[in-house]
Chains A and B, each alone.
Chain A
């Protein structure tokens, strides 16, 4: 029983580290300088405005909404990735991650169903939406759900009252 619990905890750690890596890499892909530009405020601004073009290609939001998402999402992904990596309040970070991935997955399915041949904008420019991308995003979502369930199970086990061994009781 004890070995099962520790195996579960190890899986949970692996799961959250993988999710953290996905989010940190996604943020990096959206903010990294394009072409041969070096890292600077200006080059990050260019990258974020390029990400705005990808958000715009979904044809869902007005210009102000596109700009808000394009400038807020990559820093938030970075924050979420670091939060997952820290393991602090995992139940909350995993719920937010699952909700975010559900939204992403839904948007990709919508775009694919509408026949939009656009870049998904998941990890930076140039990734077309197709069955492979949908499968990958579905996998990320499933992983996030598993980590969330694991986080809640671990929390419940921790918060359960520890019953003392009977031998101690008799003494």
Chain B
């Protein structure tokens, strides 16, 4: 399996510089004091333009009253995140989220790195789809065709194929004004997009939550049982092993 050989993503500062230079001009024009890459969340233009933070997570599967909460932070261009989605999250959603055992919360963590230049834009599409209740289809399309759209950023056609025509039109309407590239994040930072859009507020909120962990790599997941945080882990885990953990957890009072 190709994906089993690939490691999860970790930040490499050196690779951020070209993108950071472009962002520096944007931030400096606004009079922000922060550096070009490690821009504090509270001082970014996108923070001002963003929607108010949502109180209820938008990208979820299953019932909120499920005893186990599985909160996963991913980047749509990360290969390990794709493997985790296809081999672990998919059966988890169909078996355990559908049965009311697990509440899955997806969090965006788009990475500001040259080889992940479309992940912020992919997150915007996912959030736009989530606003109309079609997140599941959008997420599946983004991961299933990751190797195709990551070449040129053409994720729109895969989202279009996954949704009905009317739904896609509603999603596209929400994406108007959201030009590529999208925003990105690094541990402790939120890098605003050169052209922020209203959907960036969702991404920003997820990145802020990731920074509170703090997140060191993607995918990272947090497992809680009846409101108590049990563990935070990074990397791939297979469904049979995770299911066994859930089963043992569910036997606890």
Contact = CB atoms under 8 A, between A and B. Distances in A.
A66 B247 CA distance: 16
B233 A49 contact: no
B170 interface: no
- Categorize the interface residue count of chain A: 20 to 34
A114 interface: yes
B8 A117 contact: yes
A50 B251 contact: no
A114 B216 CA distance: 16
B72 to A, nearest CB: 14
Interface stretch (B151-159, B175-183, B237-245): B237-245
B216 A36 contact: no
B231 A49 contact: no
Contact of B245 (A50, A114, A115, A117): A50
Nearest to B8: A117
Contacts of B235: 57, 116-119
A82 to B, nearest CB: 26
Nearest to B224: A35
Given A35-B225, A52-B241, A117-B216, A57 B248 contact: no
A33 B217 CA distance: 26
A163 B143 CA distance: 77
Interface string A10-49: 0000000000000000000000001111000011011001
Contacts of B228: 35-36
A63 interface: yes
Contact of B241 (A35, A63, A117, A119): A63
A46 B248 contact: yes
Given A35-B229, A42-B252, A128-B216, A57 B10 contact: no
A34 B68 CA distance: 14
Contact of A63 (B7, B216, B230, B240): B240
A86 interface: no
Contacts of A87: none
A2 to B, nearest CB: 53
A35 B226 CA distance: 11
A117 B238 contact: no
Interface residues of B, number: 31
A89 B235 CA distance: 40
Given A37-B252, A114-B7, A49 B244 contact: yes
Interface SS of B by simple majority: mixed
Given A63-B238, A63-B240, A116-B8, A53 B251 contact: no
A131 interface: no
Nearest to A48: B248
B186 to A, nearest CB: 14
Interface in B200-245: 216-217, 225, 228-238, 240-242, 244-245
Contact of B7 (A52, A66, A117, A128): A117
B21 interface: no
Nearest to A59: B4
Contact of A115 (B10, B216, B241): B10
A42 B249 CA distance: 8
Contact of B233 (A35, A46, A54, A63): A54
Interface string A49-65: 11011101101000100
Given A114-B7, A115-B6, A116-B7, 9 more contacts: A34-B231, A49-B241, A49-B245, A50-B231, A56-B241, A57-B237, A115-B8, A117-B7, A117-B217
29 contacts: A35-B225, A35-B229, A35-B230, A36-B228, A42-B252, A46-B245, A49-B247, A49-B248, A52-B241, A54-B233, A56-B238, A56-B241, A57-B233, A57-B236, A57-B237, A66-B238, A67-B244, A115-B8, A115-B10, A116-B8, A116-B235, A117-B9, A117-B217, A117-B234, A118-B8, A119-B233, A125-B233, A126-B231, A128-B216
